[in-house]
């Protein structure tokens, strides 16, 4: 079966069904053996992550037997999977529980993310909120919207461009090193205010729906950013790597800065990197 825009609702419902089955029953119910560290005490994996990814992957392969499925936890076991994304005619990229640290510590800010990539281009992104029981969805060329639990669809747009000193934004610190880390920390204070959810799913939702202005990320794992960047762009926003080049599914480094438009991106880039 080939992917088309009519499959968006099926994919959205799949993420919600798996959240009900595999994620929410474990929320605030995890035992000591259900949580494991990956690279640090802040980088965790839980039984919810592995079980949700397994079920989503199984359902995708049943419906799209020729598609490549790239999940965060599968890639943790076999990093060679990352290299296969760029050549896949059709691929699904899954983050089964984005914001695992929040999930594991009982904070209700986490999401399920899925991106659809066709011949190296992201064509759809879905972020499901298992707590709020809704979705933010973007489709290439068709805009972005929030789909409520009651089926209501509301188009979203990024915030209007504004001066840097009026901006609300997030900088993901944990994967930055000095001297850039210190430079960005100092210059972030030139903005109006900051937020940090430790959850890209909710950060992208906040920015794509016009309730914040920008975000900066240094680590570019495809499951963390492909869906969110597509949703943000379809909501009218602009994203590029730190050097101004376009962000593509194959990119794993180079950083990422997202803003309301290109002019605002350039203003932010100049302000945040200034000596």
Does this chain's domain 5-155 share its CATH topology with 164-273? no
The pTM score is: 0.94
Confidence of residue 273 (pLDDT cuts 50, 70, 90): very high
pLDDT for residue 92 is more than 70:
yes
Confidence of residue 263 (pLDDT cuts 50, 70, 90): very high
Q: Where are the domains of the chain?
A: 5-155, 164-273
pLDDT of residue 151: 86
pLDDT for residue 34 is more than 80:
no
E runs forming strands in the chain:
35-40, 43-46, 68-71, 90-98, 111-118, 121-129, 134-139, 143-147, 153-155, 168-171, 193-194, 214-217, 238-240, 256-259
In the sheet where 168-171 sits, what is the strand order?
A: 193-194, 168-171, 214-217, 256-259, 238-240
Q: Is 98 annotated as contributing to ligand binding?
A: yes
Q: What topology is assigned to 5-155 in CATH?
A: Fructose-1,6-Bisphosphatase; Chain A, domain 1 (3.30.540)
pLDDT of residue 3: 79
Q: Is 58 annotated as contributing to ligand binding?
A: no
pLDDT digits (tens, 9 = 90+) for 134-181: 999 999 999 999 999 988 999 999 999 999 999 999 998 878 889 999
For residues 59 and 55, give the distance between their C-alpha atoms in angstroms, rounded to a whole number: 6
Q: What topology is assigned to 164-273 in CATH?
A: D-Maltodextrin-Binding Protein; domain 2 (3.40.190)
N-terminal to C-terminal alpha carbon distance within the chain: 53
Residue range 12-30: mean pLDDT, rounded: 94
pLDDT for residue 212 is more than 90:
yes
* Local structure of residue 86 (DSSP, 8 states): G
Residue range 7-23: mean pLDDT, rounded: 96
Nearest of 119, 116, 120, 121 to residue 138 by alpha carbon: 116
Residue range 201-219: mean pLDDT, rounded: 97
| 182 CB-contact burial (10 Å; exposed 0-12 / middle 13-18 / buried 19+) | exposed
Confidence of residue 43 (pLDDT cuts 50, 70, 90): low
pLDDT for residue 251 is more than 70:
yes
Is residue 210 helix, strand or coil?
coil
Q: How many CA atoms lie within 13 A of 117 on its CB side?
A: 27
Instruction: Assess contact for 68 and 197: CB atoms under 8 A.
Output: no
Residue range 214-226: mean pLDDT, rounded: 96
Sequence-distant (≥ 6) Cβ neighbours of residue 231 within 8 angstroms: 125, 127, 136, 137, 138, 144, 204, 205, 208
pLDDT of residue 76: 85
pLDDT higher for 175 or 188?
188
β-partners of residue 178 are: none
In the block, tokens 């504004």 appear at: 162
Confidence of residue 33 (pLDDT cuts 50, 70, 90): confident
Residue range 84-101: mean pLDDT, rounded: 94
For residues 264 and 172, give the distance between their C-alpha atoms in angstroms, rounded to a whole number: 19
Residue range 220-235: mean pLDDT, rounded: 97
Confidence of residue 31 (pLDDT cuts 50, 70, 90): confident
pLDDT digits (tens, 9 = 90+) for 103-115: 999 999 999 999 9
Instruction: Assess contact for 113 and 127: CB atoms under 8 A.
Output: yes
pLDDT of residue 70: 97
Confidence of residue 41 (pLDDT cuts 50, 70, 90): low
Percent of the chain with pLDDT over 70: 97
Q: Is 224 annotated as contributing to ligand binding?
A: yes
């Amino acid at each position: 079966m080939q992917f088309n825009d009519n499959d968006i609702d099926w994919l959205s419902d799949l993420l919600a069904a798996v959240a009900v089955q595999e994620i929410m029953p474990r929320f605030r119910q995890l035992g000591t053996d259900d949580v494991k560290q990956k690279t640090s005490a802040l980088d965790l994996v839980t039984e919810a992550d592995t079980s949700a990814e397994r079920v989503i992957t199984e359902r995708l392969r049943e419906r799209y037997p020729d598609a490549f499925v790239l999940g965060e936890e599968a890639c943790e076991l076999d990093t060679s999977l990352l290299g296969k994304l760029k050549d896949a005619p059709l691929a699904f990229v899954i983050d089964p529980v984005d914001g695992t640290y929040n999930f594991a510590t009982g904070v209700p800010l986490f999401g399920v993310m899925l991106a659809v990539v066709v011949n190296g281009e992201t064509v759809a992104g879905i972020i499901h909120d298992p707590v709020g029981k809704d979705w933010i969805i973007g489709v290439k060329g068709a805009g972005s919207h929030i789909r409520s639990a009651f089926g209501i669809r509301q188009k979203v747009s990024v915030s209007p461009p504004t001066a840097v000193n009026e901006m609300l934004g997030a900088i993901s610190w944990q994967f930055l090193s000095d001297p850039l880390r210190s430079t960005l920390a100092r210059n972030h204070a030139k903005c109006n205010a900051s937020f940090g959810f430790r959850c890209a799913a909710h950060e992208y939702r906040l920015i794509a729906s016009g309730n914040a202005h920008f975000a900066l990320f240094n680590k570019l794992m495809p499951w963390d950013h492909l869906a969110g960047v597509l949703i943000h762009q379809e909501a009218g926003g602009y994203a590029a790597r730190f050097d101004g080049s376009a962000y593509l599914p194959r990119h794993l480094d180079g950083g990422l800065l997202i803003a309301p438009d290109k002019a605002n991106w350039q203003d932010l880039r100049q302000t945040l990197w200034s000596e």
